Chains A and B, each alone.
Chain A
Amino acid sequence: MAEPGDIIKLGGVEKRFGAVRALDGVDFVVHSGECVGLVGHNGAGKSTLMHILAGTGTPDAGAIEILGTAQTDYSVIRARQLGIRCVFQELSLSPNLTVAENTRVSHASLRGIGWRRRAGALIKTKLDEIFPRHGIEPGDIVGDLPIGRRQMVEVARAFTVTDEPLRLVVLDEPTSSLDARTAGQLLQFVRGAVANGLSCILISHLLGEILSASNRIVVMRDGKVVATDATSAFDRDRLVATMGGTVRKPRQAAGEGERARAEKPVCVRARPQGQADGRELRAHEGEIIGLAGLAGHGQTRLLLDIFESAERRRPGVEVSGPVALVAGDRQTDGIFPLWSISDNIAITSLRLLQRGGLIDAAKESSLAAHWRQRMGIRTPDVRNNILSLSGGNQQKVLFARALGSDARIILMDDPMRGVDVGTKLEVYDLVRQEAAAGRTFVWYTTETEELENCDHVYVFRNGRIVADLDRSEVTEEKVIQSSFAEASA
C-alpha cells in the first residue's frame, strides 16, 4: 500500500497577511506512512501552512512538490485528486444538510440514482470503524447534532474513499470538541491507518496526543520551523521549551507582591461558567491582571461576563465600580467608522458631557484634545473621520474612550493585535500609569510578552482557569506548560 518517497515537500514557503508574516520560509516534508505531529503557540503559522496544503490558500513564494512532482497550479481540486484531505479547525459541514448529504458534498462521484443510500452507507461504515457506538444516523441533520458529534462526522468524512485516492489526512485540532473516550478512539484509528501506509499530519494543543500518536514532530514558531525530530527524541519539557523559546528571569522576589496585594480592596471577583474547582479571578484595586492561554479558551467570555455584570448582576461575578471594555476586533466591535475621532472618544462619557440633555460641544472637544495629547494620537484635527487614522492610532482612540470615561475597571480584549511596536510601548506605559493612579485592568492577551506588564496572570484552558501565577512566577514557559494540557486532562 505504501508508496515510496515523500507525499509532500514544501520548500521556502512564505505567506503574508498585510504586514504580518504568517509563514517565513517554511520547509516541510511528509513521508508516506508517517504521522507528523505539528505543534506551536498561537500564530506560529500552523493553520496557514495547512491551508496551503489543502489548496485553500496560495503561498506568496516557495515551491510545493507532491508525490515528486512540482505543482504549479495547486488548488483544492488538485489536492483532492492527489489524495490530500483536510479537517479544519473550524468545522466544514453545512448545518442545514444531513450527515449523508454532507458526505456527498465532499465526493463528486456520489451521484445518480441511489446516491443518498450510498453516501449514507459510506459515512456509517467509516463512523462505525473509527467511533464504535457513535449514535449518529446518516439521516440526522448536522445542525441538530451536538458539537462533538459534528466533529466526529467531519473526521470520519475525511477518511471516506470513493474514486479519489487517499494519501494524506491533515487533522487540525481534531479532538478539540471530543471527550476523552472518542478522542482515544480517533488516535487509535490514526495509528492503525498510519501503520497501513496512510500519512497524517496531526495538529493539537494536547501534547500528550502528539507524543502518543506521531512518529515525527515538527515545531513551529513565528512562521518558521524551529525543530524537527523523531517523536522519541522529544518529551513534554523539551517540546514546551522548543515552542516557547528563551526562559526569562523572574523580576521580583516572591512574597513581596503577595503582601502588597492583600492590603488593597478587591475590585473584581469572577468565576468562569463551568469552573469546577474553587478557582476564581480576583483583581485588587490598582492591579493589572493578565488572562493568558491559547486563543478562544474562554478569556473573552469571562471579560464579557464581567462587563455585563456591571449592568445586571450575574452569578459568580462581582465588580465594585463602573467598567469599560477595550475591544480587540476594532473593525467589528470597536470603532464607529462614520464618526469623527472626538465622537469616537466621547461616546462612553456622554453622561459627563451633558448639559441640559444635550452634549456640551466645548466639553467634548476639550476631552478629545486632552486624550489626543495624552495618548499621542497622530492627527491634525480630532474632528477628522476616525478612518483617517492608522490602525494603531485607531486602537489608541479606543483606549482613550475607555480611559476617558469614569470607569474604574478597564477590561482589555487582546487590544494590541496587529498594532505596531511603538504604539504598544506607549500604551503599556499609560496602562501602568493609570494602574498606579488606582485603576484596575483585566487584560486578555495572546502575546506572551505583554504578560510582563501584569501583576498577576490567570491561564485559561477550555473555558476554565487552570493556573494562577503571581508576577514573580510568570514565564513564557510556565504559561505554555499550563495552556497545553496532558491528553488525560
Chain B
Amino acid sequence: MTALAEAGRFPARSQNVARALRAVLPALSLILVLLGIAWLNPRAISYLGFNLMLNLAIPIALATLAQMFVITVNELDLSIGPFVSFVGCVTATMLRDSPLLGVGVLLVCIAIYAGLGALIHLRRLPSIVVTLGMSFVWQGAAILLLPKPGGRPPDWLLALMGWKPPLVPFPIIAAIVIAAVAYFGLMRTSYGAVLRGAGGNEQAIGRAGWSLLKIKVVMFGLAGVFGVLSGLALIGTTTSGDANIGNGYTLLSIAGVILGGGEFVGGRVSPIGAVIGALTLALAASPLLTFMHIPPDWQVGANGAILIVVLAARVLISRREARR
C-alpha cells in the first residue's frame, strides 16, 4: 500500500510536456499552414486575402463546434454534413420567401436534434447508427426542397456575411467570437463542468443527482443550434443553396475536433482548439493546395493526405501522454 502512494508523487514531467504539446499543436499546425501560404504566395497574407481564404472557415468552425458538443458526451454525429446542407436549402428558399415558416422549420430541426439525444440515451442506441440513418433523412429532405442548385438567402444574411470591418477581416473576428462563446459556455460555466463531467464519468454524474437525459438533450440540442448557424453562415457566404453543399462537413468537423486537441471519449475537448483546428483544415483544404498548383482533381485526395499527416501527429502525442 505504501508502494501505491509512492508510485506517483507528482504527474511525471514528460506528461506535462505532452500536455503542453497537445495544447500547442492546433496553433502550431495553423501557423505552419499560414507560413506555407505566405511562402507560396505572399500577397495572400493581407486583409483581402484572409477574407477570401477564410470565408468558408466560419461555417466549418461552427460545424466543428456542433460535432464537439456531441463528442464531449462520448457520442459521434455522422449527420452534421447533410444537416448543414438541409439547413442551407431551407435558408436559400423558405427563409427568404416566408421567413416565419423558415424560422419555424429551423427551430423544429434543433428540436429533432435534441430529440435524437433523448432517443440515444433512453434506448441506449449507438449514436453512430442513429446519426448515420439521420444523415440520409437530411440529405433526402434537402434534395426534395432544392432539387437543383439555386435559391438565394435573405438579404440580412448576405449583408452580415459580407461585412467588411476596418483593419481585421470579418472571418477572423467571427472565429474569435465563436471560440470565446463556446469556451465560456462549456469550459467556464458551472453547468459546463457537469456537461463535460458526463463525458468523463457518466455514472459519477448520475450518482451526484444530475439527469443524464437532460445532459444528452442539451448537448445534442447545442449541436443542432451550431449546425443551423453553420448552414446559415455557409449560404450567407456562397449566396446560393445546393443539396450537397455541406456533405464534406461530417469528416471535416470530426477532424477539426481531434486536431484541436479533443478525444473521441472521455469528455476531453477544447472549444478554442476546435475552432483553430477548423481554420487550419479550411486553409489546408483549398487555398494552400491551389497555391501549390495542385489541380482541383487532385485536391480532394491531397486533402485527405494532409488530414492523415496532421491526425497522425496528434495520435503520436496522445500515445506519449498515455505512456506516463
Binding site for B on A (CB under 8 A): 54, 56, 76-77, 80, 86, 88, 91-97, 101-102, 104-106, 108, 110-112, 115-116, 135, 143-149, 177-183, 274, 462
Contact = CB atoms under 8 A, between A and B. Distances in A.
B267 A180 contact: no
Given A96-B196, A104-B190, A86 B204 contact: no
Which are the 4 A-B pairs with shortest beta-carbon distances? A146-B8, A94-B200, A179-B5, A96-B200
B1 A96 contact: no
Given A94-B200, A94-B201, A135-B9, 16 more contacts: A54-B207, A76-B207, A80-B208, A80-B209, A92-B208, A94-B199, A96-B268, A97-B193, A97-B196, A104-B194, A105-B193, A143-B200, A146-B8, A177-B1, A177-B4, A179-B4
Contact of B204 (A92, A144, A177, A180): A92
Interface residues of B, number: 34
B203 interface: yes
14 contacts: A80-B209, A91-B204, A94-B198, A94-B200, A94-B204, A94-B267, A95-B200, A105-B194, A105-B210, A115-B190, A148-B4, A178-B5, A179-B4, A183-B1
A105 B207 CA distance: 10
Nearest to A56: B207
A144 B208 contact: no
B4 A144 contact: no
A180 B1 contact: yes
B1 A86 contact: no
B158 interface: no
A105 B267 contact: no
Contacts of B209: 76-77, 80, 108
Contacts of B199: 94, 96
A143 B199 CA distance: 13
Nearest to B5: A179
Interface string B78-113: 000000000000000000000000000000000000
Contact of A178 (B1, B190, B205, B267): B1
Contact of B193 (A104, A179, A180): A104
A447 B242 CA distance: 66
B167 interface: no
Contacts of A54: 207
Interface string B180-198: 0000000011110110111
A111 B189 CA distance: 8
Given A95-B201, A96-B199, A148-B5, A88 B267 contact: no
A95 B196 CA distance: 10
B197 A105 contact: yes
A101 B197 contact: yes
Contacts of B208: 76, 80, 92, 105-106
A110 B190 contact: yes
Nearest to B267: A96
A180 B2 contact: yes
Given A104-B193, A274-B3, A76 B206 contact: yes
B266 interface: yes
B207 A462 contact: no
A271 to B, nearest CB: 16
A95 B204 CA distance: 10
Contacts of A56: 206-207
A9 B8 CA distance: 42
A23 to B, nearest CB: 19
A137 to B, nearest CB: 11
B201 to A, nearest CB: 4
B71 to A, nearest CB: 12
A77 B205 CA distance: 12
Nearest to A142: B200
A143 B196 CA distance: 14
Contacts of A179: 1-2, 4-6
Nearest to B198: A94
B203 A92 contact: yes
B166 interface: no
Nearest to A157: B208
A157 to B, nearest CB: 10
Which one of A54, A77, A94 has the highest number of Cβ atoms from chain B below 10 Å of its Cβ? Answer: A94
Which one of A54, A101, A183 has the highest number of Cβ atoms from chain B below 10 Å of its Cβ? Answer: A101
A274 B205 CA distance: 34
Contacts of B309: none
Given A76-B207, A110-B190, A94 B196 contact: yes
A482 B222 CA distance: 55
